[in-house]
Amino acid sequence: MLLSVLSEAGTDPDPTPTPTPKPPTFEDAQESATNAASWVEQNWSTWLGIGLRIVLIVAIAIVLRILVRRAITKLIDRMNRTANAVDGTALGGLLVNVERRRQRSQAIGSVLRSVASFLILGTAALMILGAFEINLAPLLASAGVAGVAIGFGARNLVTDFLSGVFMILEDQYGVGDTIDAGVASGEVIEVGLRVTKLRGENGEIWYVRNGEVKRIGNLSQGWSTAGVDVTVRPDEDLEKVRATLAEVGEAMAKDEPWNERLWGPVEILGLDSVLLDSMVVRVSAKTMPGKSLGVERELRWRIKRAFDEAGIRIVGGLAPQPAEDASADPAAGVAAPSAYASTTSPQSLATAPITPPAQPPHLSK
């Protein structure tokens, strides 16, 4: 009866007993230790070689990075010393100011040091991964895809950065220069790798992205030209006008501070145009960068005073008024009477309205 109940319940009347695991013995532990020691003995040389290679790679990368950064710093310092050596000389006037040299040197040094560190440390990291026998092909492929994606997403930022780097390296402009960048113009107050700050004529500050600058006109490098057009009457004596302008130029070249701002003699280029009522004489002078407007204003001031003393009249003044004649008839300026003033004149009758015809008596009723 018991056997039938057990068979209906699905139990085996004679189950096989499960073998219990043997507790580890000393011989088993000794065998495992022997296997581990043999494995370590077989691979310790490989581990040691990999460790020494990694240490050597890291040491070389650190030393190389220090040497390269130090060399870049010395190069930038030498550039500053060369510029300071000519400061105060005739050649120093053509160079940029101290603030511009300092900022340009810092920007160039920062860019070069960052690029050198990125290249050295990146190469060292790839060599360390290669020492562990890691397949770098998938990693490089993933990095390439990520770089392309970042490049497409931040192409404007990359363009601004690269444009700023080349602007600084090529010394297109610097702090203190007056430039025309197309989208804005003014004095440069800060040069960055992404944005350039300009101060406009009215004091406003323009933030110009370097990637948007298509052309740059630097008004502060080399020298500037001051040009003045003098308009006189066509009947003036040209030799007298030339002599007066020459005296003005010579006197201005001897006075302070114009003798420093003028980098050449005031030249009389000749007649620029001749018209029926005027003629234009062109005067030009080479000046210090950024000082052309001040020289032009001073030239106009001196020319006007010299012309007044020499009796040369500049076109544009008031014409002399004729003297009044006391014997003139006061009624000469009165207009003749009009024919329309009389109501009986033919002209007044012709312009009178037409009277409508009278209606018959039977129609009026």
pLDDT tens column, 4-58: 544 444 444 455 555 565 565 656 666 666 666 666 666 667 777 788 888 898 9
Determine the 3-state secondary structure of 289 from DSSP. coil
At 219 the pLDDT is: 79
Least Cα distance to 248 among 313, 303, 304, 314 occurs for 303
Least Cα distance to 247 among 197, 155, 309 occurs for 309
The pair phi, psi for residue 317, each rounded to 5°, is -80, 175
At 90 the pLDDT is: 44
At 64 the pLDDT is: 92
What sign does the dihedral 101-107-110-111 (CA atoms) show? Answer: negative
The parts of the chain modelled with pLDDT lower than 50 are 1-3, 5-13, 86, 89-96, 317-318, 326, 365
At 341 the pLDDT is: 57
Q: What is the DSSP string of 166-190?
A: HHHHTT---TT-EEE-SS-EEEEEE
Determine the 3-state secondary structure of 201 from DSSP. coil
Distance (Å, rounded) from C-alpha 197 to C-alpha 195? 7
At 365 the pLDDT is: 47
The fraction of the chain above a pLDDT of 70, given in percent, is 66
Distance (Å, rounded) from C-alpha 144 to C-alpha 139? 9
At 290 the pLDDT is: 75
At 269 the pLDDT is: 87
At 37 the pLDDT is: 63
Q: Which helix (H) or strand (E) holds 272?
A: strand 267-274
* DSSP character at residue 275: -
At 100 the pLDDT is: 63
